[in-house]
Amino acid sequence: MKLGFLTACLPGEPLDGIAGWATAHGYSALEVAAWPADPGRPWEASHLGPDTGEILSRHGLDISAVAYYENLLHHDTAARARIHDHLKRCVDEAAVLGCPLVGTFIGRDVTRPVADNLRLAEDLLPPLVAYARERGVVFVVENCPMEGWHPDGYPANLAYSPELWDWLAKLGFFLNFDPSHLVWLGIDPVAALAGNLGLVKHVQAKDVQVDPAARNRFGVFGQLIDKPSPWTSGWWRYRVPGRGEVDWSRLLDVLHEGGYDGYVSVEHEDPVWSGTPERVRQGLEIAHRTLAPLIV
Protein backbone atom coordinates (compact mmCIF):
# COMPACT_ATOMS: atom_id res chain seq x y z
CA MET A 1 0.00 0.00 0.00
CA LYS A 2 0.98 3.62 -0.53
CA LEU A 3 -0.18 6.70 1.36
CA GLY A 4 -1.38 9.80 -0.45
CA PHE A 5 -3.94 12.57 -0.13
CA LEU A 6 -6.69 14.23 -2.16
CA THR A 7 -5.52 17.63 -3.41
CA ALA A 8 -8.97 19.23 -3.03
CA CYS A 9 -8.07 20.36 0.49
CA LEU A 10 -5.70 22.95 -1.04
CA PRO A 11 -7.86 24.45 -3.81
CA GLY A 12 -5.91 27.67 -4.16
CA GLU A 13 -2.49 26.03 -4.34
CA PRO A 14 -0.73 25.00 -7.58
CA LEU A 15 -0.17 21.29 -8.07
CA ASP A 16 3.61 21.74 -8.27
CA GLY A 17 3.71 23.22 -4.77
CA ILE A 18 1.38 20.59 -3.38
CA ALA A 19 3.48 17.82 -4.90
CA GLY A 20 6.73 19.23 -3.53
CA TRP A 21 5.26 19.50 -0.06
CA ALA A 22 3.80 15.97 -0.26
CA THR A 23 7.17 14.42 -1.14
CA ALA A 24 8.98 16.39 1.56
CA HIS A 25 6.49 15.17 4.18
CA GLY A 26 6.54 11.47 3.34
CA TYR A 27 3.57 11.05 1.05
CA SER A 28 3.89 8.77 -1.98
CA ALA A 29 0.85 9.65 -4.10
CA LEU A 30 -1.76 12.27 -4.87
CA GLU A 31 -5.43 11.84 -5.69
CA VAL A 32 -5.67 14.72 -8.14
CA ALA A 33 -8.77 16.94 -7.94
CA ALA A 34 -10.29 17.53 -11.36
CA TRP A 35 -13.37 19.73 -11.01
CA PRO A 36 -13.86 22.34 -13.74
CA ALA A 37 -12.29 25.66 -12.83
CA ASP A 38 -15.18 27.66 -11.33
CA PRO A 39 -14.53 30.69 -9.11
CA GLY A 40 -18.10 30.42 -7.85
CA ARG A 41 -17.35 27.08 -6.17
CA PRO A 42 -14.09 27.72 -4.33
CA TRP A 43 -14.33 24.55 -2.23
CA GLU A 44 -13.66 22.46 -5.34
CA ALA A 45 -10.17 22.21 -6.79
CA SER A 46 -8.92 22.00 -10.35
CA HIS A 47 -5.43 20.49 -10.31
CA LEU A 48 -5.56 18.26 -13.40
CA GLY A 49 -3.80 19.66 -16.44
CA PRO A 50 -1.45 18.90 -19.32
CA ASP A 51 1.59 19.02 -17.03
CA THR A 52 0.18 16.79 -14.27
CA GLY A 53 2.19 13.74 -15.24
CA GLU A 54 5.44 15.69 -15.50
CA ILE A 55 4.91 17.36 -12.13
CA LEU A 56 4.18 14.14 -10.30
CA SER A 57 7.06 12.33 -11.97
CA ARG A 58 9.49 15.11 -11.08
CA HIS A 59 8.49 14.87 -7.44
CA GLY A 60 8.54 11.07 -7.37
CA LEU A 61 4.80 10.72 -6.77
CA ASP A 62 2.16 8.35 -8.13
CA ILE A 63 -1.33 9.45 -9.11
CA SER A 64 -3.74 7.27 -7.15
CA ALA A 65 -6.90 8.47 -8.92
CA VAL A 66 -8.43 11.37 -10.79
CA ALA A 67 -11.06 12.91 -8.51
CA TYR A 68 -14.34 14.36 -9.77
CA TYR A 69 -17.07 13.74 -7.21
CA GLU A 70 -20.32 14.96 -8.72
CA ASN A 71 -24.00 14.04 -9.04
CA LEU A 72 -24.32 11.79 -12.09
CA LEU A 73 -28.12 11.70 -11.69
CA HIS A 74 -28.65 15.44 -11.27
CA HIS A 75 -32.32 16.42 -11.64
CA ASP A 76 -31.42 19.26 -14.04
CA THR A 77 -30.81 17.42 -17.31
CA ALA A 78 -28.59 20.19 -18.70
CA ALA A 79 -26.42 20.13 -15.58
CA ARG A 80 -26.37 16.33 -15.75
CA ALA A 81 -25.13 16.43 -19.33
CA ARG A 82 -22.33 18.84 -18.39
CA ILE A 83 -21.32 16.57 -15.51
CA HIS A 84 -21.23 13.49 -17.75
CA ASP A 85 -19.19 15.34 -20.37
CA HIS A 86 -16.64 16.46 -17.80
CA LEU A 87 -16.46 12.96 -16.32
CA LYS A 88 -15.58 11.65 -19.78
CA ARG A 89 -12.81 14.25 -20.03
CA CYS A 90 -11.50 13.03 -16.68
CA VAL A 91 -11.47 9.48 -18.05
CA ASP A 92 -9.55 10.67 -21.12
CA GLU A 93 -6.97 12.45 -18.96
CA ALA A 94 -6.64 9.47 -16.64
CA ALA A 95 -5.98 7.21 -19.62
CA VAL A 96 -3.24 9.55 -20.88
CA LEU A 97 -1.64 9.51 -17.43
CA GLY A 98 -1.84 5.72 -17.18
CA CYS A 99 -4.12 6.04 -14.15
CA PRO A 100 -6.81 3.34 -14.13
CA LEU A 101 -9.11 4.99 -11.57
CA VAL A 102 -11.50 7.94 -11.68
CA GLY A 103 -13.34 8.74 -8.46
CA THR A 104 -16.93 10.01 -8.49
CA PHE A 105 -20.39 9.66 -6.93
CA ILE A 106 -23.55 8.05 -8.24
CA GLY A 107 -25.66 10.88 -6.90
CA ARG A 108 -29.45 11.10 -6.98
CA ASP A 109 -32.28 12.98 -8.63
CA VAL A 110 -33.57 14.54 -5.41
CA THR A 111 -37.00 15.16 -6.96
CA ARG A 112 -37.66 11.42 -7.32
CA PRO A 113 -37.85 8.47 -4.89
CA VAL A 114 -35.02 5.99 -4.51
CA ALA A 115 -36.71 3.25 -6.56
CA ASP A 116 -37.00 5.60 -9.53
CA ASN A 117 -33.38 6.63 -9.09
CA LEU A 118 -32.18 3.04 -9.21
CA ARG A 119 -33.92 2.56 -12.55
CA LEU A 120 -32.60 5.91 -13.78
CA ALA A 121 -29.04 4.90 -12.92
CA GLU A 122 -29.49 1.57 -14.68
CA ASP A 123 -30.54 3.45 -17.82
CA LEU A 124 -28.02 6.31 -17.77
CA LEU A 125 -24.79 5.04 -16.27
CA PRO A 126 -23.77 1.88 -18.19
CA PRO A 127 -22.64 3.94 -21.22
CA LEU A 128 -20.30 5.92 -18.95
CA VAL A 129 -18.90 2.69 -17.53
CA ALA A 130 -18.37 1.36 -21.05
CA TYR A 131 -16.68 4.60 -22.14
CA ALA A 132 -14.22 4.27 -19.27
CA ARG A 133 -13.63 0.56 -19.76
CA GLU A 134 -12.76 1.09 -23.43
CA ARG A 135 -9.95 3.38 -22.23
CA GLY A 136 -8.65 1.10 -19.50
CA VAL A 137 -10.29 3.05 -16.69
CA VAL A 138 -12.85 2.14 -14.02
CA PHE A 139 -14.92 4.34 -11.72
CA VAL A 140 -14.47 4.17 -7.96
CA VAL A 141 -17.44 5.57 -6.05
CA GLU A 142 -17.08 7.11 -2.60
CA ASN A 143 -19.70 5.88 -0.14
CA CYS A 144 -20.61 9.38 1.09
CA PRO A 145 -24.33 10.07 1.71
CA MET A 146 -24.02 13.63 0.31
CA GLU A 147 -26.98 14.57 2.48
CA GLY A 148 -26.35 18.27 1.81
CA TRP A 149 -27.57 17.78 -1.76
CA HIS A 150 -31.04 16.77 -0.53
CA PRO A 151 -33.46 19.50 0.64
CA ASP A 152 -34.35 17.45 3.72
CA GLY A 153 -30.89 16.06 4.40
CA TYR A 154 -31.57 12.52 3.21
CA PRO A 155 -28.92 10.48 1.37
CA ALA A 156 -28.34 11.89 -2.11
CA ASN A 157 -25.62 9.53 -3.32
CA LEU A 158 -26.81 6.00 -4.01
CA ALA A 159 -23.61 4.42 -2.78
CA TYR A 160 -23.79 5.33 0.90
CA SER A 161 -24.91 1.94 2.22
CA PRO A 162 -23.44 -1.57 1.93
CA GLU A 163 -26.92 -2.65 0.82
CA LEU A 164 -26.28 -0.79 -2.45
CA TRP A 165 -22.75 -1.98 -3.18
CA ASP A 166 -23.69 -5.19 -4.99
CA TRP A 167 -26.04 -3.12 -7.15
CA LEU A 168 -23.12 -0.78 -7.92
CA ALA A 169 -20.95 -3.71 -8.88
CA LYS A 170 -23.59 -4.99 -11.32
CA LEU A 171 -23.47 -1.59 -13.04
CA GLY A 172 -19.68 -1.88 -13.31
CA PHE A 173 -18.65 0.49 -10.53
CA PHE A 174 -16.15 -0.18 -7.75
CA LEU A 175 -15.68 1.35 -4.29
CA ASN A 176 -13.55 4.20 -3.08
CA PHE A 177 -14.00 3.04 0.50
CA ASP A 178 -14.28 5.81 3.13
CA PRO A 179 -14.92 4.55 6.69
CA SER A 180 -15.89 7.93 8.16
CA HIS A 181 -19.37 7.96 6.63
CA LEU A 182 -20.19 4.51 7.92
CA VAL A 183 -19.40 5.42 11.54
CA TRP A 184 -22.03 8.13 11.83
CA LEU A 185 -24.51 5.98 9.93
CA GLY A 186 -24.17 3.35 12.69
CA ILE A 187 -22.34 0.83 10.46
CA ASP A 188 -19.14 -0.89 11.60
CA PRO A 189 -16.61 0.14 8.92
CA VAL A 190 -14.29 -2.77 9.67
CA ALA A 191 -17.06 -5.34 9.15
CA ALA A 192 -18.30 -3.52 6.04
CA LEU A 193 -14.80 -3.51 4.58
CA ALA A 194 -14.14 -7.16 5.39
CA GLY A 195 -17.35 -8.19 3.64
CA ASN A 196 -16.70 -6.15 0.48
CA LEU A 197 -12.95 -6.24 -0.12
CA GLY A 198 -13.44 -7.48 -3.67
CA LEU A 199 -15.10 -4.20 -4.63
CA VAL A 200 -12.47 -1.91 -3.09
CA LYS A 201 -9.99 -0.45 -5.57
CA HIS A 202 -9.16 2.77 -3.68
CA VAL A 203 -9.40 3.85 -0.04
CA GLN A 204 -10.03 7.34 1.30
CA ALA A 205 -8.79 7.98 4.82
CA LYS A 206 -11.11 10.33 6.67
CA ASP A 207 -12.12 10.20 10.31
CA VAL A 208 -15.26 11.33 12.14
CA GLN A 209 -16.02 12.64 15.62
CA VAL A 210 -19.43 11.96 17.15
CA ASP A 211 -21.05 13.96 19.97
CA PRO A 212 -23.56 11.60 21.65
CA ALA A 213 -25.13 14.37 23.74
CA ALA A 214 -25.86 16.43 20.62
CA ARG A 215 -27.25 13.35 18.88
CA ASN A 216 -29.65 12.95 21.80
CA ARG A 217 -30.97 16.43 21.01
CA PHE A 218 -31.08 16.32 17.21
CA GLY A 219 -31.47 12.62 16.39
CA VAL A 220 -29.68 10.80 13.61
CA PHE A 221 -31.13 13.04 10.88
CA GLY A 222 -29.43 16.03 12.45
CA GLN A 223 -30.20 19.65 13.21
CA LEU A 224 -33.26 21.20 11.51
CA ILE A 225 -33.86 24.67 13.02
CA ASP A 226 -31.39 27.51 12.39
CA LYS A 227 -29.16 25.14 10.45
CA PRO A 228 -26.14 27.18 9.30
CA SER A 229 -25.35 24.97 6.30
CA PRO A 230 -26.91 22.02 4.44
CA TRP A 231 -23.82 20.08 5.55
CA THR A 232 -24.24 20.76 9.29
CA SER A 233 -25.49 17.76 11.25
CA GLY A 234 -25.12 19.27 14.69
CA TRP A 235 -23.83 16.04 16.21
CA TRP A 236 -20.88 14.78 14.14
CA ARG A 237 -18.05 16.28 12.14
CA TYR A 238 -15.27 14.98 9.92
CA ARG A 239 -11.73 14.84 11.31
CA VAL A 240 -8.29 13.93 10.01
CA PRO A 241 -7.21 10.34 10.77
CA GLY A 242 -6.15 10.08 14.38
CA ARG A 243 -8.56 12.72 15.70
CA GLY A 244 -11.78 10.71 15.42
CA GLU A 245 -13.29 7.32 16.11
CA VAL A 246 -12.14 5.09 13.23
CA ASP A 247 -9.94 2.19 14.36
CA TRP A 248 -7.24 2.61 11.73
CA SER A 249 -5.13 -0.25 13.04
CA ARG A 250 -7.95 -2.76 12.57
CA LEU A 251 -9.07 -1.25 9.28
CA LEU A 252 -5.63 -1.36 7.70
CA ASP A 253 -5.07 -4.85 9.06
CA VAL A 254 -8.16 -6.00 7.16
CA LEU A 255 -6.74 -4.43 4.02
CA HIS A 256 -3.36 -6.09 4.54
CA GLU A 257 -4.91 -9.48 5.27
CA GLY A 258 -7.16 -9.20 2.22
CA GLY A 259 -4.21 -8.52 -0.07
CA TYR A 260 -5.09 -4.92 -0.88
CA ASP A 261 -2.01 -3.27 -2.38
CA GLY A 262 -3.49 0.00 -3.66
CA TYR A 263 -3.58 3.52 -2.30
CA VAL A 264 -4.84 5.01 0.94
CA SER A 265 -5.68 8.66 0.22
CA VAL A 266 -6.26 11.13 3.04
CA GLU A 267 -9.37 13.22 2.38
CA HIS A 268 -8.92 16.27 4.60
CA GLU A 269 -12.27 17.84 5.57
CA ASP A 270 -11.43 18.54 9.22
CA PRO A 271 -12.83 21.93 10.33
CA VAL A 272 -10.30 22.14 13.18
CA TRP A 273 -7.33 21.92 10.81
CA SER A 274 -8.74 24.19 8.11
CA GLY A 275 -9.01 27.88 7.36
CA THR A 276 -5.54 28.48 5.93
CA PRO A 277 -3.19 26.37 3.80
CA GLU A 278 -0.85 26.18 6.78
CA ARG A 279 -3.57 24.69 8.99
CA VAL A 280 -4.52 22.24 6.26
CA ARG A 281 -0.92 21.08 5.95
CA GLN A 282 -0.74 20.61 9.73
CA GLY A 283 -3.79 18.37 9.46
CA LEU A 284 -2.12 16.38 6.70
CA GLU A 285 0.93 15.95 8.94
CA ILE A 286 -1.29 14.57 11.72
CA ALA A 287 -2.85 12.15 9.24
CA HIS A 288 0.58 11.02 8.06
CA ARG A 289 1.79 10.41 11.62
CA THR A 290 -1.32 8.35 12.28
CA LEU A 291 -1.35 6.22 9.12
CA ALA A 292 2.25 5.86 7.94
CA PRO A 293 3.31 3.43 10.72
CA LEU A 294 0.36 1.17 9.81
CA ILE A 295 1.13 1.00 6.08
CA VAL A 296 3.85 -1.43 5.08
pTM score, whole prediction: 0.96
Confidence of residue 42 (pLDDT cuts 50, 70, 90): low
CA separation for the pair 214, 222 (Å, rounded): 9
Tell me the pLDDT of the chain averaged across its residues: 96
Mean pLDDT of all residues in 59-69:
98
Domain at 196, CATH number: 3.20.20.150
Residue 43 confidence (pLDDT):
67
For residue range 209-253, list pLDDT tens digits in order: 999 999 999 999 999 999 999 999 999 999 999 999 999 999 999
* Total domains in the fold of the chain: 1
* β pairing state of 236-239 and 207-210: antiparallel
Rounded-to-integer distance, Cα 117 and Cα 205, Å: 28
Query: What pLDDT band is residue 41 in, cutting at 50, 70 and 90?
Result: low
Domain that holds residue 97: 2-294
The Cα–Cα gap between 81 and 74 comes to 9
Q: How confident is the model at residue 39 (pLDDT cuts 50, 70, 90)?
A: low
- At 44, the pLDDT band (50, 70, 90 cuts) reads confident
Q: What is the pLDDT of residue 37?
A: 81
Residue type, 47: H
The C-alpha atoms of residue 95 and residue 87 are separated, in whole angstroms, by 12
